[in-house]
Structure 1
Amino acid sequence: MKKRRIIGLFFALLPVLIFAQGEAKARKAMLHATKYMVENVSTNGGYVWYYTPDLSRRWGEMEAYNTMIWVQGPGTVSMGQTFINAYITTGNEYYYKAAEKAAAALIWGQSSAGGWNYMIDFGGDRSFKNWYSTIGKNAWRLEEFQHYYGNDTYDDDVTSSAARFLLKMYLTKLDPKYKPALDKAIDLVIKSQYSIGSWPQRFPLRYDFNKNGNPDYSSYSTFNDDVIWENVNFLIQYYITLGEEYFLDHIMRGMNFYIISQQRNGAWGQQYNMQMEPDGARTYEPKALLPGTTYSNALLLLKFYEYTGNRKFLNGVPDAIQWLEKVKLPKSQTDNGRYTHSTFVELDTDKPIYVHREGSNNIYGRYYVDYTDEDLLSHYRGKMTIRLENLKKEYNHISGLTPEEVTRNSPLKPMKYEGSTTPQSYFFEIWGSKSSIPEKEKVKEIINSLDIENRWLVKNAMISNPFIGDGENKELTKKFASTFVGDNRDTSPYRDESDKLYISSAEYIKNMTILIGYINSFSNEKGGMTANVE
C-alpha cells in the first residue's frame, strides 16, 4: 500500500517536475544568450541590428562604425526593453544590469535639447560627421542620412521610444537617477509641439538641407511613421504614471490636430508645410494625399472618441471612408486583386500617382513621379491593401456607444486602480510585455538553436556595400529601378540572399520574447505545468 502511494505521488508530481526541467532549460538559454550579447556584442551597453560573427562589420539601418549604436529599433531601445521584461519575469538582476547599461548608453547620447538621433556615436562629432559625409551621403534611398543636422528626430519612433524606455526604467525601481534624463525628454516633447498641436519630424528646427530643389521637410507637421501619435501616446503614459495634469492640454492639442488637418474631401497628407498644406518630403515622397495615412488617422479618431467621449472626433470618419471608396484602384491596377489603393494620390485630381527611379547611385540618380504603375520601387511600395470594411465596422460599433459607455476604460479619466496598488503598477499592466503562450516545439527549437558560443545566428541579414567613394556613373539606367540597392557605390542596405550567418538583435529579441512568454504562461497557471522542453 505504501509503495502504491509513493508511485501515485510520483505520477502526481511528474507534470511539475517536467515543467521545472523545461523552465530551467529556458532560463539557462535566456541567460547564456544575454550574457553573450552584453559581454561580447554591445558597445558601451548599446547595440545595432546586425553583426558579422567576427564583429568586423555591423549594421543598423545602414552600416555603422564600431563606435556607433542604433537607437531606432531593433537596436538599443528594443534590447533594453527586452532586458527589463526578462528581469520582471525572472527576477534575475543580471537582466536589470543589462538594461541599466542600455539606458546609460542612451543617456550618454541624449542631446542637450533632450532627444535622440537615429544613432549614437561614441567617437564624437568628428566621427559622426565623417560617417554622414561618406556612408550616409551615398545611401541613395535613405535621404535622412545624407545630411548631418545635429538635432533630434521623432522619425521611426526614435526619441519617443527612447523616452518611453527611460520611463519604464524609472518606474521599475523608482530609481531617481533616471528622472533628469526623463525630464529632459519630456521638456523636448512639450517645447517642440507646435501651437496647432502637431510636431515636426526633427527638433530643434533646421532649414538647411535641400534635395534636388525640394525644400527641407524636417520642420513640417509629420504624420509619417506615427510622429504625432507616438508623442501623444507617450504624453498619455507620462500623465497616467506621474500624474502631471499639465500635460492634458498638450494631449488634447495633439489629438485636435487630426481634425484641423483633415482635407475637405476627407483625406490626409503625410506631412504639412507651414501654410498647413499637404506637402512632399523625401524625393520619393511627393506632395500628395495618402490612403494609408487617411486609414490610420481615421482609426485614431475613433480611439480619441474612446479617450474623450467627444463626438467631434467622429465627425470626419465618414468623409474619410467616402474618400477611400472613391480612390480605390481601377481593376487593371490591382494586380489581380492583390492591392486596393496606390500609396500616393494626386492632390487635385484624386488620380493614383507612382514614384520611379533611374540611374545607379545617389550622386547622379533621380526619382520621378508619373501615372504609370510599372517598374515601381521595391524599397517604398507604390501600392497597398486597405481593409476598408474593418474601418466601417469599427466606426459603426464605436459611434453607436454613448460617451459614458465608450470612455469606461479611458486613460484620461480619473481611475480606481483595482487590482493595482499604484498608477505605476497600472503602467506595467497596460504597457508591459504581452507575450502569447508559445508552442512547446517552438521553445525547444529556440533553446536548441543556440550555437556553441550561445548565439542565435540568422541568414539573410540586411547588409550593404562598403563605402568606396562617391557615385561616379552618370548613366540614367533603368537597371536599378526596382532594386533595394544601386551599383557598388550605393551604401543603402539590401538583403544578403546567401547562406552567410549573422548575429541579429531582432532574432535575440524575438527568441527572448517567446521564452519569456513560456515562463510567464506557467507562472500564471498554477495547475498547468505540463510542458516539456528537451
Structure 2
Amino acid sequence: MIARTSLAVLTVGFGLALAGESRVGAEPVTQQRVAGLESSEQQAWLAYLKRSESLAKQDADALAAEVTAAGIAQAKRAPSGGDFKLSAKLGDPWFASPEAAELVGVVLSYQTPSGGWSKHTGYSHGPREPGMQWTSQNEPGSSAHYLATFDNRSTTEQLNFLAGVWQATGRQECADAFVKGLHYVLAAQYPNGGWPQVYPLEGDYHDSITFNDDAMTHVLELLHGVASSEPSYAFVTEADRQAAAAALERGFNCVRAMQINVEGQRTAWCAQHDALTLQPVAARAMEPATLASVESARLLKFLMGVPAPSPELQEVIEGGLAWLDRVQVTDVVKTKRDGKTVYVKDPASTDVYWARFYRLENSEPVFPGRDGVLYATFEEMAANNRLGYDFYSTIPGSIVKNGQKKWRKMLAKQAPR
C-alpha cells in the first residue's frame, strides 16, 4: 500500500540529502499508484484520472478539428509572452476601459475547451487564430505542455480579469467563460483537496500539489471570493457558490494535512507535495524537497484573512507563524560582488532575512544550486554555480509583523465577550 498520511498532520519521516545525494523526487498520478491506495479511496481517484483523460482528449480533438478545417498540416504555435498579471484590483475603473474591453477577446480566445489557460502566452499579438495551440510551451505535434495550468497565476488571474470586467460592464460572455473556468478549477481538485500544477494531468512533478509560485494559494483565494459572494462574482449561481465553498473547505483540510510536523511542532510547507502521499517532494533543480519560506508565508497571509477561522485553522496559522519567527536569519548582509547579488556573513548585521529553503528535519537553511546539488551554505553554492536567484528573502517579514498584528486584532474582535 502507498504510505498513508493522516488528514490531521504530516510528520516528516525522512531526511534531506545534501551535496549530491539522492532526493525524494516527484511521481505522477497513475492507475498503478492509485492501485496501492486503500480500496475505499481508489474509486474517487480512478474517476479523477478518467475525467482528466477525457478532458485532455477533448482539448486535443478540438485542436485537431480546427487544424483540419483550416487546411493546414499541423497546429500553429501560440506566441510566447510574459506572465498574465493584473495591475488593477477587482472593482477598479480600469475594467471598464477600452484596453480591458480589447483584452477580453484575446483572453477568451485562449481559454481551452477544458476551461483553463496556459502560461507565458503572448496576448499582445492579438486573439488566438484558428488552428493555433492554446499554449506556447511546446512545439506543434509534440505532447501538450502547460496546456492549462495554475502556474505563474495562470487560470486564476484570467478568471479574476473576466470577473472584474463583468462587474464593470455586465458583459455576459465574461460571466459565461468564468463559470466554465470555475468548473475547470473544481474538476481539477484532487479527491484529497489539493490541486496539481497542470490539469488535465501532464505527469512528472506537474502532478504534484503545488505551492510553488503560490499556485494552490491563488486557487484558494479565488474560491474564497466566490464562496463569500464577493461583488465581482455575483453572477455565480448558488449551486456553484456552494460547490466552491465545499472545495475550499477540502482545500483547507489538505493544507492542514500537508503542514509538516517536526517533533510535535507544526512548521511550514514544501513547494511541492506528492498528490497521493502528501509527502514533500522535489521538482526541478531549484525546487528541492524542503520547507519553502516565501510560499508558506504567502499562504499564511491568505489564511489569516479568512473570517472566523476554525480552531483547526488557527492551529495551522499559529504553527506557521511560530516557525517563521524561529527561522529568521540575522547574521547576513546583502551586497554586490562582480555585479551579482551575494549574501555575506556579518554577526553585527541588523537586517532580517529568511532563507528560501530549509531542511525538513531541523529547519536549517539550504541552498540549491543549478548543478542539482543542495549546499549547506550560500558561500559553497555561490562558489560552484551561476547566481541570479534570491536565496534569501524579506517577504515573510511583513506577514510575521503587520499581518500577524491584523490577524490577532481580528481574532480579538471575534472572540465571545
TM range (shorter): 0.5 to 0.7
Partner of 2:356: 343
Question: Where does residue 314 of structure 2 map in the other structure?
Answer: 314
Where do residues 408-487 of structure 1 align in structure 2 (5 Å cutoff)? none
The corresponding residue for 1:153 is 149
Change (3 A) 1:165 1:288: same
Deviation of 1:197 (Å): 2.1
Superposed structure 1 runs of 4+ greater than 6 Å apart: 81-84, 124-131
For each residue in 1:79-101, what CA deviation from the matched residue of structure 2 results, as whole angstroms up to 9, or x when unmatched? Answer: 9x89983465xxxxxx33x4232
2:373 and 2:143 mapped to 1: Cα distance? 21
User: Alignment partner for residue 373 of structure 1, among 378, 382, 387?
Assistant: 378
Instruction: Give the conservation status (yes or no) of the 8 Å contact 1:71–1:162.
Output: no
Give the aligned partner of residue 271 of structure 2: 270
Question: What's the CA shift string for 1:57-91, capped at 9, x where partnerless?
Answer: xxxxxxxx9962647335xx669x89983465xxx
Task: State yes or no: 1:72 paired with 2:79.
Answer: no
Aligned length: 304
User: Is 1:132 paired with 2:141?
Assistant: no
Distance 1:283 1:120 in 2: 24
> How far is 1:355 from its partner?
1.9
Change beyond 3 A, Cα 1:85–1:147: farther
Residue 368 of structure 2 aligns to a residue whose secondary structure is strand
Cα shift at 1:401: 5.1
Inter-partner Cα distance in structure 2 for 1:206 and 1:108: 22
* Counterpart in the other structure of 1:254: 251
Q: Distance in 2 between matches of 1:348 and 1:150?
A: 33
1:288 counterpart residue number: 290
Superposed CA offset, 1:424-463 (max 9, x none): xxxxxxxxxxxxxxxxxxxxxxxxxxxxxxxxxxxxxxxx
Q: TM-score, normalised by structure 2?
A: 0.62
Decide whether the 8 Å contact of 2:79 with 2:136 is kept in 1.
no
Alignment of 1:106-125 (within 5 A): 106-120=107-121, 122=128
Give the SS at the match of 2:286. coil
Q: Which structure 2 residue ranges, 5 or more long, are not aligned? A: 1-75, 123-127, 333-342
Matched residue SS, 1:202: coil
Q: What is the alpha-carbon distance in structure 2 between the residues aligned to residue 192 and residue 129 of structure 1?
A: 18
SS of 1:269's equivalent?
coil
Identity %: 19
Partner of 2:205: 217
Residue of structure 1 in register with 2:191 after alignment: 195
Deviations, residues 26-71 of structure 1 (Å, cap 9, x unaligned): xxxxxxxxxxxxxxxxxxxxxxxxxxxxxxxxxxxxxxx9962647
Distance 2:386 2:392 in 1: 10
Task: For residue 311 of structure 1, report the CA deviation from its aligned partner.
Answer: 2.7
CA contact (8 A) 2:324 2:396 kept: no
Q: What amino acid sits opposite 1:262 in the alignment?
A: Q
Residue number among 161, 172, 187 corresponding to 1:176 in the alignment: 172
The structural deviation recorded for 1:133 is 4.7
Gaps of 5+ in 1: 1-64, 89-94, 135-145, 208-215, 358-365, 408-534
Rg larger in 1 or in 2? 1
SS in 2 for 1:264: strand
Deviations 1:274-293 (A, max 9, x none): 21011112221111112223
1:398 is matched with: 407
Q: For the residues of structure 2 that align with 1:148 and 1:254, how far apart are their CA atoms?
A: 27
For 1:85, which of 89, 93, 113 is the aligned residue?
93
Is 1:334–1:340's contact at 8 Å kept on the other side of the alignment?
no
Contact 1:310 1:403 in 2 (8 A): no
Per-residue CA deviations over 1:190-220 (Å, capped at 9, x if unaligned) read 111122222111101111xxxxxxxx11111
Q: Compared with structure 1, are the counterparts of its residues 127 and 402 closer, same or farther at alpha carbon in structure 2 (3 Å cutoff)?
A: closer
Q: Which residue of 2 aligns with 1:237?
A: 225
AA of the residue aligned to 1:73:
F
Aligned to 1:303: 305
AA at the equivalent of 1:313: L
CA contact (8 A) 1:71 1:117 kept: no
Change beyond 3 A, Cα 1:206–1:164 = same
Q: Counterparts of 1:206 and 1:115 in 2: how far apart (Å)? A: 14
What TM-score, normalized by structure 1, do the two folds share? 0.50
Secondary structure of 1:182's counterpart equals helix
Contact 2:329/2:355 (<8 A) preserved: yes
Partner Cα separation in structure 2 for residue 394 and residue 352 of structure 1: 24
- 8 Å CA contact 1:198, 1:257 repeated in 2: yes
Match of 2:391 among 357, 382, 385: 382
Letter in 2 for 1:302: M
Letter of the structure 1 residue corresponding to residue 260 of structure 2: Q
Q: CA deviation at 1:400?
A: 6.0
CA distance in 1, matches of 2:219, 2:79: 26
